[in-house]
Amino acid sequence: MGNERKPDWRTLSGLPIPASSSAEDVPESLPPAGQPPYTRGIHSTMYRSRLWTMRQYAGFSSAEATNKRFKLLLERGQMGLSVAFDLPTQLGLDADDELSFGEVGKVGVSISSVEDMKLLFDGIPLDTVSTSMTINAPAMVLLAMYIVTAEEQGASMANLRGTIQNDILKEYIARGTYVFPPDESMRLITDIFEFCSNNIPMWNTISISGYHIREAGSTAVQELAFTLANALAYVDAAITKGMDIDVFAPRLSFFFNCHNDFFEEIAKFRAARTLWHDLIEQRYQPKNPKSKMLRFHTQVAGVSLTAQQPLNNVARVTIQALAAVIGGTQSLHTNSYDEALGLPTEASATVALRTQQIIAEESGVADTVDPIAGSWHVERLTKEIYEQARNIIEQIEEKGGAMAAIEEGWQQQEIHLAAYQHLNEIENGTRRIVGVNHGTMDEIEGIPVMKTDASLGERQTERLAEIRAQRDDQAVAEALEAVALSAENGSNLFPYVIEAVRARATLGEIINVLKARFGTYMAPSGF
């Protein structure tokens, strides 16, 4: 393939790119950062006052191994923790469940009981560190384990800071780690909203995620539209439960992907803030300005990383992270260059963290607010993404909202079509990926690939047996019965789940009680 340029000039998401934009594409009035509709940022001084939180995602093998990685990253300048759980934990299964066989500790840390959680944060004071946990269907149980761990360290839950993902709708759309039917899942989520608003005021009770929607193959516009439509469904569910929007909305947070198309991604973040402000203002008229502020974490695009010529991924991650910062993210995870091959090694994880630090300290992009504001190209893209995303949200509303559209399989089908188109573009060469269909070469030397401990499943099974042998079985049975009664009578489940965790009930035991009352769910494929 030669160096001829593109036959069709479009962004990664398919938006047309004119040869140049003009001053007509810049809005007549563009309020400064910190003022509605927050296009330029939610804080007036942005990173001049405080840098984004460098929150590197980590989790593998045992709690002890992940604890060592956490301490390494904190020592090297990471500002907050972000926990990756293994697949059994994400599905509410104990490590000794037969369905967990072969998966324990593979793609995240294995957590089956509060004793595992205590090992995970051993020597890390939870009243001084901010922690994000990527957990959804069993989010209430894992947060309860975190609360009990903090208590047993001597910390009050009122002082805890962090985020649980707790976004089940995108699991039905794109990721698949759902357990319960949609209505029951929404109850768990709103119970968390209610409990945390009264007891853990600094905790972000949900991180509404477009990241996994984008990783499944959506466009940037679809990522934004589907994410905000899901967010509206959560807001409606909480209001239906009787909550005041100004009580829970300021603790809503978002989680976006940042892909390779530099200007499109910057524009997406600016459009997201504007669109969320407008949707909330027009639908709910909250009194607290913070209810209309879109705060978000960004992770660079794992799906963009290539196993071919993996060191090229350092460049991809840098471009994506730079776009996220210019776009005004509140926290950021940078992927490691070897993630298309395996879990990050200590060396690659350090490079990923250093990439953020170099952007913060050496590039100059954090020295001024919204440095690309007024760019004719960026302002045109911001407006176009806003309008197209709003149109998709209106289509979803016509179907009865996000939940109804998910049950129909509509978002799933739209993602499938977008992913298929992108794959075709790569295969026919109209979309070039360096090292894959452009700039290819024979690769002789590999790079070290991290291996997980194959014996972890056996050791976790032994640990669970010890926990069950040492605990008070009657106290566990009574606590689980209280969870069951709460599930049936409609009271807030969270206090009862916390008591079950204190009694040393395991993740799987608590989830099985809820499965018996709520049932499970199989989502439509979209076709």
Which residues neighbour 45 within 8 Å (Cβ) at sequence distance 6 or greater?
A: 33, 34, 369
Closest to 269 in 3D by CA, of 26, 17, 41, 18? 41
Amino acid identity at 132: S
Work out the percent of the chain whose per-residue pLDDT is above 90. 88
**Taking every pair of C-alpha atoms in the chain, what is the biggest distance, in angstroms?**
74
Give the burial class of 129: count Cβ atoms within 10 A of its Cβ; 0-12 exposed, 13-18 middle, 19 or more buried. middle
Average pLDDT over residues 374-378: 95
Task: Give Cα 393 to chain centroid, integer Å.
Answer: 20
Collapsed DSSP state (helix, strand, coil) of residue 514 = helix
What are phi and psi for residue 48, nearest 5 degrees? -65, -30
Structure tokens at 43: 């804080």
pLDDT tens readout for residues 82-121: 999 999 999 999 999 999 999 999 989 999 999 999 999 9
pLDDT mean across residues, the chain: 94
Lowest mean pLDDT of 52-66, 220-234, 386-400, name the range: 52-66
On whether the CB atoms of residues 131 and 297 are closer than 8 A, the answer is no
What CATH number does the domain located at 23-427 have? 3.20.20.240
With tokens 């499965």, the residue in question is 515
Q: Kindly tell me if the per-residue pLDDT of 7 is higher than 70.
A: no
What per-residue confidence (pLDDT) applies to 254?
97
Average pLDDT over residues 418-441: 93
290 vs 60: CA distance, rounded Å: 36
Give the burial class of 256: count Cβ atoms within 10 A of its Cβ; 0-12 exposed, 13-18 middle, 19 or more buried. buried
Structure tokens at 496: 């009862």
Q: Kindly tell me if the per-residue pLDDT of 3 is higher than 90.
A: no
Work out the percent of the chain whose per-residue pLDDT is above 70. 98
Q: Kindly tell me if the per-residue pLDDT of 260 is higher than 60.
A: yes
Helix (H) or strand (E) holding 458: helix 456-470
On whether the CB atoms of residues 155 and 128 are closer than 8 A, the answer is no
DSSP 144-213: HHHHHHHHHHT--GGG-EEEE----HHIIIII----S-HHHHHHHHHHHHHHHHHH-TTEE-EEEE-HHH
Closest to 205 in 3D by CA, of 142, 159, 251, 240? 251
Closest to 527 in 3D by CA, of 395, 414, 438? 414
Average pLDDT over residues 309-327: 97
- List Cα–Cα distances, 236 to 171, 231, 287, in angstroms: 19, 9, 17
Total-model pTM: 0.94
Closest to 53 in 3D by CA, of 324, 345, 369? 324
515 vs 111: CA distance, rounded Å: 19
